[in-house]
Amino acid sequence: MSANCCCCSNHLNDDRYTRLNQVIAEYKNQPGSLIPVLHKTQQIFGYLPDDVQKLIAEGLNVPLSDVYGVITFYSLFSLEPRGKHTIGICMGTACYVRGASQVLDALKKDLAIEAGQTSGDGVFTLTITRCLGACAMAPVMMIDEDVYGRLTPDKIPDILAKYRQASKNA
């Protein structure tokens, strides 16, 4: 791509693209470099937008379809912007039989989103997980690295309020 094309003009004042180019340069011509580049790129951008995928494909000299295929295969990669905090609600057997679906409903209602979406304020992304390894505390959810167990729908507003307040103070 030419530095003067209109599709890249927004990149000129965005240091994320400079950092992306550094990552690509670091891994260029190394076998198996696509996943590490995608991982570092998602750390930079928060997700993997279309224009970034094209730059990675061109920079690593791999087909764009390979880049997209890896992104959509691995759940740790995202094509959509994610919230500042990721909520993972466990829907494994122990959590499910102890009321995780009601907790999920409370999360969806409070956040006004469905699983897989990001709240309108950009604070939360809601995901469903299969097992968090805390079955004795079922139902369980994680927000970032924090684990919450023995959940009931009425506990959700207070838990989310803590993260909303922290986001306002940040």
104 and 31 share one domain = no
Task: Give residue for tokens 């400079």.
Answer: 18
Q: Which CATH number covers residue 150?
A: 3.40.30.10
54 and 122 share one domain = no
106 and 34 share one domain = no
Q: What is each CA distance from 11 to 21, 82, 83, 106, in whole angstroms?
A: 11, 21, 22, 40
Percent of the chain with pLDDT over 70: 94
Q: What is each CA distance from 4 to 1, 9, 18, 144, 153, in whole angstroms?
A: 8, 7, 16, 40, 53
Could you check whether the bond before residue 81 is cis, i.e. omega within 30 degrees of 0? no
Host domain of residue 20: 9-73
Of the three residues 20, 46, 73, the one that is the final residue of a domain is: 73
Task: Quote the pTM value.
Answer: 0.70
Q: Which residues contact 60 (CB under 8 A, 6 or more apart)?
A: 24, 27, 28, 33, 34, 37
Residue range 99-132, pLDDT digits in tens: 999 999 999 999 999 999 999 999 999 999 989 9
Pairing of strands 124-129, 85-90: parallel
Distance CA 144, CA 9 (A): 34
4 within domain boundaries: no
Mean pLDDT of the chain: 92
65 and 100 share one domain = no
103 and 31 share one domain = no
Task: Give residue for tokens 């979406």.
Answer: 117
Of the three residues 42, 73, 104, the one that is the final residue of a domain is: 73
91 and 164 share one domain = yes
67 and 93 share one domain = no
Distance CA 113, CA 111 (A): 5
- The answer, yes or no, to whether residue 2 has pLDDT greater than 50, is no
Pairing of strands 141-143, 124-129: unpaired
114 and 63 share one domain = no
57 and 94 share one domain = no
